[in-house]
Structure 1
Amino acid sequence: MSWKIKLNNGRIDAFYDDQLVLEGVELRGYDQKDEIKFLLAPYGKPYPVATPAGEQIVYILKLVPQNTGPTDIIMEIFCGPLRLALRLYPRKPLGFKLSGMVHWGWEPYLCRIEPGQFKDVVQAALGPANSLLCDCLFDKWTDRVLRFNADDIFQIKANPSTGDFWVEAQLFTQFGSIPEILAVEVINHFVTEHRSMPHYVPYDRTHHPLPPSGWESWYCYGRQTSEEILIRITDWLAKHLKPFGCEVVQWDDGYQDENWLEWRRDLFPHGGKWIADYIHSKGFKPGIWVLPQSLGKIDSKLLETKPDWLLRKPDGEVFRGFANYPYVDPTHPEVKKEWFQKIFHTMAREWGIDFFKIDGEGEMQQWYALCRDQLYDPSLTPDEAYRGWLKIIREAIGQERTLLICATQWRAMGFGDCCRTGTDVGEQWPAVEPALRATFSNYWMHTIAWYCDPDVLIVRPPLTLEQARSWASLLGLSGQVLLNSDPVHELPEERVELLRRIFPAQDIRPMDLWSHPPHGPYPQIWDLKVATNWGQWDIVGLFRWFEENAAEVKITTELLGLPTGRYVLYDVWEKSYLGELGNGRTFQIDPGACRVLCIRALTHVPLLLGTNRHITQGYPD
């Protein structure tokens, strides 16, 4: 694989791996008076140059002015195994502009892949958005990055109406310098190798175009969740949050008796199918928590009746993992059929459950490594043993149902629709930190490998309204899995309004494909760039997570990757106009609080400042 070029009517077409990448690249010159359009023509034949990195092909081209202009300018193009460089040789001072269309895979993401200027401004995109801070395109399907560089100014731009990308570059140079007006570099196997995710599979969103949005029971009812509670919650959600995009009602641990198909009759007198049917009847998708790698009770009768089903440690003792549950041997043929396949086929195909959260996944490979010699089939690696039963579950429930992996298990890529990317949160403000750590460390893989789940959203007291608003804003601006876990029917109206303003989760993707330090301090600026065929705007969250964070947060056009111009500000939560951005604005923020601003370019036509519906300010409306 290497770069190649062809001249097409005086313009450059560049190919990588025989795929057209740069199309119709043209050059223009300019001085203080005139603009000169150049066509490119061969200046001798291309020739190879051997290098330690592989062979490069060098093309020497002449810039031919279309009317009057200099006739002695040469361009050299270096086509290497990974890098393509366009280098100019002018004879006198002259400015140059380059432009051309860019093609990169099936689903290119405009992004940046490593910290650089303004690295503590988190960027995300809703639609084909632009940012002057981005220098890359990433295609998740081929796992390739196309990184741009130049010795002066360049920009990659998306056309929101067509989804096409353009690159533009500009420089001023003179005799004696040989600048690169543009260079592009291919980074192969970006997630697999550069992010060390050997099981990476690009997430196909055909069946689930948006992350799940709904409610779950654990953080308000724990193991006492009952049929009665779910009926009450479902009825309330149907009236108050379903019109705003709530779609999932999920219950957690505590329902099971001897196994995952036998339920506690004191909590669920009508059983699993009945409650699933009830939730369906209200227009929701029923969801369930399962720990499939284990028995349903710590003292299950299966310990005596099926001893050969159990996972055993090197000393022969039954292995007990999450919450002291006894684990099963995933390589045993009967376990595969009578346990994994039967449980999930019954729940999905017979009971009608649509959403599955499987827990305790984060350390599975460690337990299978520890117990490998005691497995029914010790020839399987820990990864093969784990992924084997995930495959059984995926086939049993089908692609149309949602599978959430909990928690942080990269070996589940290719099977999970969603993944918990951190530890449990809580209802006190310091307990929001696991969600911050999960988001800022792992958001880069959201929509790429799966939908990221930083755990639930809680908005009830003892959280202050400002703290609840900050937590809700983080979920609303990131577009991650959105599951509330409050006794919603008891919430004050102002807390319910927080939920209405962020439901449902939107099709938001990361623009920064790296991990922020998990220990903090966490970024205080989140810039969601929204692009539609009728407008572009930014929703900027300014946060002061904790007392130790800066009390003043300043924003400028440069920091937000915006072109120079006039912009107006609207406070999303306060519903107030704040005037122009100008040369920058500084905001004072209290600990635990936030400001969410809608920033729009000032034009000479009537302008929508904001709405009182969704935090994205018009996108889903």
Structure 2
Amino acid sequence: MNQSMRHAAAEPPIAQANHSWDEETNLLQYHYNGRTIISIPLPEGVKAYYRRVSDGNLQTSPFVQQLYLAFERPQRVRVTFELSEDAINMRPRRAADGEAILGQSGRPTIYGANGLYDVLQDLLIDWHGADWRWACDRIRTQDNGNAIAEIDVEVGVTPWIINLRMHYYRKHLNFSYHKPWEWRPNLKPVSGWCSWEAYRRDIEEADVLSSARFISDHFKAYGLEYVQLDDGFQPSLIPQSADGTVAEAWLRTNEKFPSGHEGLTSGIKECGLQPGIWTNAVVTNPDFAALSDSCIKDQEGSPIKGKWIGYVLDCTPETLARHVAPYYRGMNEFGYTYFKTDAIRHLIYDGLHEAVKEGLISNDEAEAKFRAFLACAKEQIGDAYLLSCWGVFSEVVGLADACRIATDSNPSWPAIRMQLVETARWFHTHRILFLNDPDHVCVRAPMEWAKSAISLVALTGSLLMISDKPENYDDERIHMIRRNLPPLSTVTAETGALDINYPAFAWTHVQGYAIDLDKADQQHTGHGHKPPVGHPGHPFTTLWAIHMQTTDRTWCVAGRFATEPLQASVLEIAQLGLNPAREYAVFDFWQQQYMGRYTESIPCHELEVGSCQIMAVCPVDHKPVLLASSRHVSMDAISVLHESWDNGLHTLKLAGVPGTSENYWYYVPAGFTVLGLSVDNGQGDWSIEGETVKLTICFTGEETLSKLSFGQL
């Protein structure tokens, strides 16, 4: 039987790819799990050396298979990779100092990113040891749904190496519950408003509903979806009586919410938004804990207690069925479609593992009980969205749609810096294991800090929640929020082990007092080191490159984020994952300014700590090209629905908010001139600004069609 036609296993095997060589066609192929994953046409008349199978050299646990190819004299070969429909380009290591952290929207192929990751098979393929280039600017989809990527490789007498790592996240990175062939999280872009940092526990029903109306009026048309109540609605004791249930306590609201959950969800939905709710794993009633057989007790029969979690449910099937399942099922029936489940870090580490320390249960039992709690919640809420909060654990993989990767945020610089740093640290998990949540963005922070936080969250496609009182949203901040809605569907484009060589704190404790380390040392950085005086580069966490691709267009959004002060510097284009031999037009989004054309490097200005610079970096050709827009920080993956160029006529199909106007910039090479503009279902104007043409579109409906015609001098 042809190897490529073999049956694919429901669970991809932890086993080697087998090879075949066709003498007639001189085609070398490797086959894995029902697909021909690698095809290499060998040149005629040249002796080839290749590894048939792994021969045991690197077959270990976790499993690594190494293949290689060499020729008696240098040859160029085109290598074709065929993977599942959910395959992406991936750099097989994390960014180093001076390199951009790589992300992708669409399925672009990124210069220098020498790997492919098949998400559905959890298979990482990477290659080393020879010069190579992508044969196409994107990963293509075949008629059978499989993904195809091709590279041209210069292979000589030194072996070119291909590594295959089966069950990569599951075994190599130790996320043992990652089984994408069984379950994938909901990876849609998520944005909303959260009440916690706006009101904390000093919140009433009227505050939520008035905030929902404000959010709907100002942000719904731009893509914001959820309004989430976070704490302050529940009774003070959980459960309310010694013989009560945890579910009854949470399903009843206190006197500040007289309409109950039903009134709250219906009020939010009347604003055209989806209601979200904060839930918690705590038990606070000591009488219940002492009398109930649902809490874990020590050897003397006293209930154990942990920090932030209170008393600890034993998470047996009986306890979950009585106390937890009705809780989540009831909230779902009230109409909540977004669930933030909090304190689960404390459930496992400050609760269940306290029982391990007491010798009451084993580590494996603690993990199983924790998973059972979260699985119970997920089962009861059905298709509703589930955010695991807080702390990143392997134990939530396969259950949670999103995971809080950072500690609690607030409008201070240490907290915002923490969000930026943790987004960088955990980016290798993003939209592979779950959606990353760096916690809510407090837009009332100083403007440059807030701009940095919300820009990074939007560009990386992380979970975007804003959390301020409506009166904090002045016109400038409203404009800034809109420029970042909705967040993108960005996926990580790099992977590797977690870096634990720098601190994760936003603040710490010294002799019992919480202090802001920036006040103790204004030069203290997110790395835990002081940058050298005049350091010109970009330390890790400060440089990002999100590679954007639509059906019609490919470009890069480069972001500089000053988690520490950044000096004026020359940014090497290759460090962004772009071919330095090409020429690029560059546009600064927040300055709304064209920066010029560059090859090899881009000159960048100094950035004070907390500030950012977002640049569109677009390859230029011998005809006008769309460069940037004012609508979205992606410049523009949101409002540009379709783009085409035909014999001097550039057509844009655009989505917009009726009654607003947006600007679109074209880079126009010498020798071209604008002949005219027509706009359907809207109004438009254009003006020349140096090497660019600015097109202004006034939207009278939700979509418009712009046709800008060019002539050659």
Q: TM-score, normalised by structure 1?
A: 0.84
How far off its partner does 1:313 sit?
3.8
User: Structure 1: which amino acid aligns with 2:391?
Assistant: A
Task: Name the structure 2 match of 1:74.
Answer: none
Q: SS of the residue aligned with 1:610?
A: strand
Structure 1, unpaired ranges of 5+:
28-37, 56-79
Residue of structure 1 equivalent to 2:80: 101
Contact 2:109/2:139 (8 A) holds in 1:
no
**Aligned Cα root-mean-square deviation (Å):** 3.1
> Match of 2:277, as an amino acid?
I
User: Which residue is equivalent to 2:455?
Assistant: 473
Aligned equivalent of 1:12, options 23, 27, 31:
27
1:190 offset after TM fit, Å?
1.4
Secondary structure of 2:336's match? coil
Counterpart in the other structure of 1:571: 588
1:124 partner SS: strand
Worse overlay, 98-107 or 414-423? 98-107
Q: Secondary structure of the equivalent of 2:345?
A: coil
- The CA deviation at 1:183 is 2.8
How far, CA to CA, are the matches of 1:458 and 1:203 in structure 2? Answer: 37
Show the counterpart of 1:255. 233
Distance 1:513 1:46 in 2: 26
What per-residue deviation string (whole Å, max 9, x for no partner) do you get for residues 513-557 of structure 1?
Answer: 1334443434211100001120100000012123xx332243222
Bigger mean CA offset, 531-540 vs 145-154? 145-154
1:395 positional shift? 1.1
Shift in Å, 1:309: 2.0
2: CA distance, partners of 1:118 / 1:155: 25
Contact kept in structure 2, 1:236 and 1:489, CA below 8 Å: no
- CA deviation after TM superposition for structure 1 residue 208, in Å: 3.0
User: Which stretch shifts more, 563-572 or 372-381?
Assistant: 372-381
Q: Aligned letter for 1:524?
A: T
Distance across 1 between alignment mates of 2:396 and 2:53? 45
User: Which amino acid is the alignment partner of residue 16 of structure 1?
Assistant: H
Q: Cα gap change, 1:54/1:454 in structure 2, threshold over 3 Å: closer, same or farther?
A: closer
Distance 2:23 2:35 in 1: 13
Tell me the equivalent position of 2:315: 330
Distance 1:602 1:581 in 2: 10
Once the two structures are overlaid, the 10-residue window that deviates more, 415-424 or 127-136, is 127-136
2:320 and 2:359 map into 1 onto residues whose CA distance is 13
The CA distance in 2 between the partners of 1:138 and 1:45, in whole Å, is 23
Report the Cα distance in structure 1 between the residues aligned to 2:289 and 2:380, rounded to whole angstroms.
Answer: 25
Q: Residues 48 and 268 from structure 1, CA distance in 2 versus in 1: closer, same or farther, beyond 3 angstroms?
A: closer
**Residue 321 (str. 1) matches residue 292 (str. 2):** no
Displacement of 1:276 after TM fit?
0.9
Shift of 1:422: 1.7
Tell me by how many angstroms 1:435 deviates: 1.1
1:316 aligned partner, one-letter code: G
Contact 2:48/2:71 (<8 A) preserved: no
Q: Is the 8 A contact 1:110 1:138 kept in 2?
A: yes
Give the C-alpha shift of residue 565 in structure 1.
Answer: 1.1
Task: Check if 1:558 corresponds to 2:574.
Answer: yes
In structure 2, what residue type is equivalent to 1:344?
A: Y
Q: Secondary structure at the match of 2:629?
A: coil
Find the residue that maps to 1:457 and give its secondary structure: coil
Is 1:544–2:559 an aligned residue pair? no
SS at match of 1:310: coil
SS at match of 2:161: strand
1:585 to 2:567 alignment: no
Are 1:273 and 2:256 an aligned pair? no
Deviation of 1:278 (Å): 1.3
Amino acid at match of 1:253: D
TM-score (norm 2): 0.73
Q: Tell me which residue corresponds to 2:491.
A: 509
Q: 1:44 to 1:537 in 2, by over 3 A?
A: closer
Greater length-normalized contact order (CA 8 Å, ≥ 6 residues apart): 1
- CA 1:377 to 1:49, structure 2 compared with 1: closer, same or farther past 3 Å? closer
The 2-side partners of 1:96 and 1:44 are apart by 12
Specify the alignment match of 2:210 in structure 1. 232
Corresponding letter in the other structure for 1:208: N
Q: Residues 318 and 117 (structure 1 numbering): CA distance in 2 closer, same or farther, change over 3 Å?
A: closer
Q: 1:238 to 1:5 in 2, by over 3 A?
A: same
Aligned amino acid, residue 620 of structure 2: L
State the partner residue of 1:31.
Answer: none
Matching residue within 411, 414, 438 for 2:398:
414
Deviation at 1:82, TM superposition (A): 1.8
Contact preservation (8 Å) 1:161, 1:532: no
Aligned partner letter, 1:26 = P
Tell me, yes or no, if the aligned pair for 1:10 and 1:40 is still in contact at 8 Å.
no
- How do 1:140-289 residues align onto structure 2 when only pairs under 5 Å count? 140-155=119-134, 157-159=136-138, 162=141, 164-170=148-154, 178-180=157-159, 182-202=160-180, 208-257=186-235, 258=240, 259=246, 260-289=249-278
For 1:242, what is the secondary structure of its paired residue? helix
**Do the aligned partners of 1:553 and 1:589 also contact (CA within 8 Å) in 2?**
no
Match of 2:418 in 1: 434
Q: Show the counterpart of 1:135.
A: 114
On the 8 A contact 1:203/1:449 being kept in 2, the answer is no
